[in-house]
Amino acid sequence: MKRKAAFALVRPPGHHAEPARGMGFCMFNNAGIAARAFAVATGEPVLIADFDYHHGNGSQALVGNGISYLSTHAMPAYPGTGSANDNRLTPGASLVNVPLSASGISTEAFVAIWVKGLRAIAKRLRPSLLVVSAGYDFILGDPVGDLASSRAWPRSSAASCERSRTRIVTAARCFVLKAATIPTCSPAAFRHDRRV
Ligand SMILES: [Zn+2]
């Protein structure tokens, strides 16, 4: 079946909301709901890729039953979850946390993590759907996050997701955008994500 891309511009973003409670401005886990609905409807594997500054504790809580989760996030930072010690590579229930120093990371290193990491995980899991939990509060100057990454990174991240889809897996992809806290970052990110 040929599947098309989807784009969701939603607030609140959702990745902190757990199945039974809201957290961190998130009432509903929009990316998680999309992933779960797809997995239940098709029985096919889904990978949620999350590059928000904060760890998605709610998305991690959904791992299993065909849903896998890959996240880069600052540590220590809210909500305090996301340890690499939790990682596991199990078909249909993989968890890959990549905690980064809250003091920041170079844009080049951040891009490399996503280009290599996403490609490797996608190749191993071969998801039918890639759901991108696209939070941009890691960008330099963001008052809530800020991993010191350049505003040029959204283009690389989206392109990496796209390459992973076309070259390694046959997954459709769905971008769930949580804009940056910096208003001037959001339009650029939105313009690129909207095309994928
Ligand atoms: Zn965040």
Share of the chain above pLDDT 70, in %: 73
- Please indicate whether residue 16 is annotated as part of the active site: yes
The three state secondary structure string of 94-160 is: CEEEEEEECCCCCHHHHHHHHHHHHHHHHHHHCCCEEEEEEECCCECCCCCCCCCECCCHHHHHHHH
- How much is the mean pLDDT over the chain? 81
Calculate how far, in angstroms, residue 145's C-alpha sits from the geometric centre of ligand 1: 6
User: Are 153 and 196 in contact, with CB atoms under 8 Å apart?
Assistant: no
Beta carbons within 10 angstroms of residue 126's beta carbon: 15
Q: What is the pTM of this model?
A: 0.83
For the ranges 9-13, 151-155, 161-165, 190-194, the lowest mean pLDDT is seen at 190-194
Q: How far is ligand 1, taken at its centre, from the CA of residue 188, in Å? A: 18
> Are the C-beta atoms of residues 175 and 186 closer than 8 Å to each other?
no
pLDDT computed for residue 8 by the predictor: 80
Cα–ligand 1 centroid distance for 113 (angstroms): 18
- Of 74-83, 115-124, 129-138, 157-166, which range is least confident? 157-166
pLDDT score, position 1: 57
Q: Give the integer Cα–Cα distance in Å for 171 and 174.
A: 10
Over residues 18-49, the pLDDT tens digits come to 999 999 989 999 999 999 999 999 999 999 99
